């Protein structure tokens, strides 16, 4: 049974290492190698991860058999609205219910804090959209988010009412 633990700044190198393992195989068919490298540096450098935590992002790590296999992050974005900012599981661990457990874990936490909805962004070409829909998320709208260096995230914004 996977174990989910809150992460803090002492875990940033572990989160970064997981991202470096997960991102290239996850996004290589959607994004250019240059965009993957840019986004990994922008969002998963140790300084960026620490800054995200200092600005209110809450990270969780998931372990199976005492080995880290994934992580998620969420942040409050409005009165009763939260955003699932990140959720990643090692490819060999996908399909085992770990992602669902992390979303359930985050949902339990934020419901106790008064959340009425959880939003997320997913690349419009990412098959994870179907995973989110199975868990009760629906597409609110699509939007392009410029992220610098000429790169754009072309995403769906999805929401689950709690």
Structural domains of the chain in order of their starting residue, each with its CATH number: 3-161 (3.40.630.30)
Residues 31-58 have a mean pLDDT of 97
Task: Give the model confidence (pLDDT) of 53-64 as tens digits.
Answer: 999 999 999 999
The whole-number pLDDT of residue 39 equals 96
Q: What percent of the chain has pLDDT over 90?
A: 99
Q: Which pLDDT belongs to residue 109?
A: 98
Determine the pLDDT at residue 31.
Answer: 95
How many residues are there in the chain?
162
- Whether the predicted pLDDT of 70 surpasses 90: yes
Residue 1 reports pLDDT greater than 90: no
For the chain, the 3-state helix, strand and coil shares in percent, each to the nearest 5, are 40, 35, 25
**DSSP string covering 54-66:** HTT-EEEEEEETT
């Amino acid at each position: 049974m996977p174990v989910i633990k809150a992460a803090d700044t002492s875990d940033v190198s572990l989160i970064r290492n997981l991202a470096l393992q997960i991102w290239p195989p996850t996004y290589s068919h959607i994004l250019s190698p240059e965009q993957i490298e840019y986004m990994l540096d922008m969002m998963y450098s140790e300084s960026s991860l620490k800054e995200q935590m200092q600005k209110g992002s809450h990270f969780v790590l998931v372990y199976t058999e005492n080995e880290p296999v994934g992580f998620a992050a969420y942040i409050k974005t409005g009165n009763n609205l939260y955003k699932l900012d990140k959720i990643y599981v090692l490819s060999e661990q996908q399909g085992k219910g770990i992602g669902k457990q992390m979303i359930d874990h985050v949902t339990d936490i934020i419901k106790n804090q008064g959340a009425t909805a959880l939003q997320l962004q997913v690349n419009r070409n990412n098959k994870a959209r179907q995973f989110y829909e199975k868990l009760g998320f629906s597409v609110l709208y699509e939007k392009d988010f410029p992220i610098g260096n000429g790169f754009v995230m072309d995403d769906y914004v999805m929401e689950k009412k709690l």
